[in-house]
Structure 1
Amino acid sequence: MRLMSQDLSAIRQQIDKTDIEIQQLLDKRARLAKQVAQAKFAEEENPVFYRPERESQVLKNVIARNKDGSLEDDTLTLLFREIMSACLALQKKLRVGCLGPEGTYSQAATFKQFGHGVDCTLLPTIPDVFKEVEAGNLQYGLVPVENSTEGGINQTLDCFATMQLQICGEVELPIHHLLLSNAEQLSDIKIVYSHQQSLGQCRKWLETHLPHIETRAVESNAEAARLAVQNPESAAIAGKIAATMYDLRKLEENIEDKPNNTTRWAVISQQTVPPTGQDKTSLLLLPTHVDKAGALFELLQPLSNNGINMTRIESHPAKIEKWQYMFFIDIEGHHQEALVSQTIDAIKSHALVKLLGSYPKAIL
């Protein structure tokens, strides 16, 4: 036991020494970040500090170096995102908007993408996020695009059709829902609040365990948690952050119908992003020959002809004429790449095309 105690003491001394080295290296990185800011201000009048393509490459390098590491890739990328976030804040603190109030999944996605060094502005609706970024009051916004269980987010798709902003990044977040309440047991609950998407993601669970209660859709899961605090006979479907923030009892955990339930957010801004080699391009297509047989086939045929992989397609009412639809598609590649550019030009023969943005693929 004495030998073990001596070994433990020696290991702790090594840990203390390593901590000092880590802190010194962090300080060095911070000083280099300040030098980057000085160099940019010397060269540009209004420099852009957040570079999604640069951040993507840094994280790819982190993962590539971690072949025999003791930490998991997602742990290391989380650490490096926070380091980059803190250093970026020394250059210029980013203003990022997302759907509020406190405790939403959108807020969690914002911190996953940007780290905690940003000024996170919580807004009441998804259209408000678009408006604040378009007005220049916020530099970036995070808006939910689609869920792996329930599909596209209609409010976001409507905004993409009308707003003149670019997608410059994406982030995916596994969604695990909890049933939160001040009630003692399920039988005490008479109403469940949640966002419409979350209600859909938990539809089977609700039908099985709470078949006769009222469900009411609200603007966000955090708002649902706030309402559940006020009504002891109600519950909210929300996440762990909301449970802690609103001090609600976790009656049930992981009530989503699909265990791999995931939501994808788009980072929106007025900023375009150069190619990284591992990119996606999002397009909005409004077919010009809707009454022609095979119109959708013709619309997408250039993708097949040029070997461009389509990772997503979603139809959405165009709201121009009755039964007229537009299509949101994601393809692999960057619009500045020759083959992708040629493909988009070919699609323009069959549809009005709006480029929503090219951006690095989500990393973990």
Structure 2
Amino acid sequence: MSENKDLDQLRQEIDTIDTQIHQLLNQRAECAERVAETKLREFGAENGEGDLSRVMFYRPEREAQVLRKVIDRNSGPLEGKTVARIFREIMSACLALEKPMEVAYFGPEGTFTQAATIKHFGQSVISLPQPSIATVFSQVESGQCNYGVVPVENSTEGMVSHTLDNFMDSPLKICGEVELRIQLHLLANENASSDTIKTICAHQQALAQARNWLDNNWPGVDRIAVASNAEAAKMAKDDASIAAVAGDIAAEQYGLMKIAKSIEDFANNTTRFLIIGNEEVAPSGSDKTSLIVEANNKPGALLKLLEPFQSSGVSLTRIDTRPSRTDTWAYVFFIEFEGHKDDDNIAGILEGLGDHSRVLKVLGSYPKAVL
């Protein structure tokens, strides 16, 4: 009886805490609504009047700062990033009260890019799948969507060239980044078996990321690269002769069983995605900057581009090359480094780069991934 009484008291305590949490959530939501009203008044856009396009409801640097504070002040027993993910959803729901955001992502539904979109913006965002990376760019450029999410690199397979190429001519800015641990599974419908499966389908990157496992476990079975892992899952849903390499979200979306789990060749397999938008982002205190630069066609040109970073003690996080669209056998460099373009030392570096390059395009400064 005493044990039951203790449990009842603990449950009552949890109920009391839940009520307090609920009240505080509603107070936060009411405050978010007042924030929206203040922003609308500032730009003269009350009652649907004025220029709504000038009102910035979503502030990437502010959200990054809030999430970092959540992690820093957390004392357990919940892990800091676990609590931060809860706050991510709270902020997503409150932002939807201000203005529901529409975010384009490289689809269809069930892709890792959709999972990255949800991880970064939360469940309350309106996520819209697009048939190509180029379409994601065009949807954001035209104002049809507020932001876009595109893959930029995988830890085992390197850079996504289509994304880099689209930055060449686009006016869009990088507003953020999100990293996603990639777990790949071999999926098939409930009627499939080792006897029925004749083909394994996936995006070419997923096939490459699971190449060794597939060689060892399904040798001799044809592999076909398709537009996305979700497209492969959709094919497997209706055909017992097809298995798909895809993730959890695709398995749930298309009701597939997991023939084998976590078949990626490297346990730390991670893909990084970029958030693209029309506005520049203010410093958050822990930022990255990305740029495209084409060096002068002279001996030692690349060295002159990199020397300012070394002398200023700025850490490069990525450097890659793409063919130039203007000259044969000429290349542009995609460079990422720590710091914000408005930082004094970074501004000096950018000024020096302009003197030693034919083309210099700052793609954006943005908060480092928090979750």
Which category describes the TM-score, using the shorter chain as reference length? Answer: over 0.9
Counterpart for residue 240 of structure 1: 248
Output one character per residue of 1:111-134: Cα deviation in whole Å (capped at 9) or x when no partner: 110011111111111111000000
Do structure 1's residue 177 and structure 2's residue 184 form an aligned pair? yes
Among residues 128, 132, 142, which one is paired with 1:121 in the alignment? Answer: 128
Q: Does 1:337 align with 2:329?
A: no
Q: How far apart are 1:198 and its partner, in Å? A: 1.0
Which residue number corresponds to residue 25 of structure 2? 26
The match for 1:276 among 256, 260, 284 is: 284
Determine the C-alpha separation between the residues in 1 that align with 2:234 and 2:211.
Answer: 21
Residue 314 of structure 2 corresponds to 308
Give SS of 2:206's match: helix
Query: What is the CA–CA distance in structure 1 between the aligned matches of 2:331 and 2:244, rounded to whole Å?
Result: 34
Q: What TM-score comes out, normalization by structure 1 length?
A: 0.96
- 1:204 maps to a residue whose letter is N
- 1:5 matched to 2:4: yes
Which ranges in structure 1 are unaligned for 5 or more consecutive residues?
A: none
Separation in structure 2 between the aligned mates of residue 254 and residue 181 of structure 1, nearest angstrom: 15
Residue number among 82, 98, 102 corresponding to 1:91 in the alignment: 98
Alignment match, 1:355: 362
Query: Does the residue aligned with 1:188 lie in a helix, a strand or coil?
Result: coil
2:118 match: 111
Aligned-residue sequence identity (percent) comes to 48
Distance 1:117 1:202 in 2: 33
2: distance between equivalents of 1:50 and 1:87?
A: 11
How far did residue 349 of structure 1 move? 2.2
Q: CA deviation at 1:185?
A: 3.4
Residue matched to 1:285: 293
- How many Å apart are 1:358 and its aligned residue? 0.1
The 5-angstrom pairing of residues 184-223 of structure 1 reads 184-223=192-231
Match of 1:141 among 139, 148, 151: 148
Deviation at 1:298, TM superposition (A): 1.9
| Amino acid of the structure 2 residue aligned with 1:50 | Y
Letter in 2 for 1:226: K
Question: What does residue 321 of structure 1 align with?
Answer: 327
Offset, 1:210: 2.0
Aligned to 2:274: 266
Residue type of the alignment partner of 1:218: V
TM-score (norm. length: structure 2): 0.94
Q: CA RMSD in A?
A: 1.2
State the Cα deviation string for residues 200-248 of structure 1 (Å, max 9, x = none). 1111112222222222222211111001123211111111111121111
Corresponding residue of 1:230: 238
Cα drift, residue 187 of structure 1 = 4.9
In the alignment, which of 155, 163, 167 is matched to residue 170 of structure 2?
163
C-alpha distance in 2 between matches for 1:231 and 1:324: 46
**Residue of structure 1 in register with 2:48 after alignment:** none
Is residue 167–residue 356 contact of structure 1 (8 Å, CA) maintained in 2?
A: yes
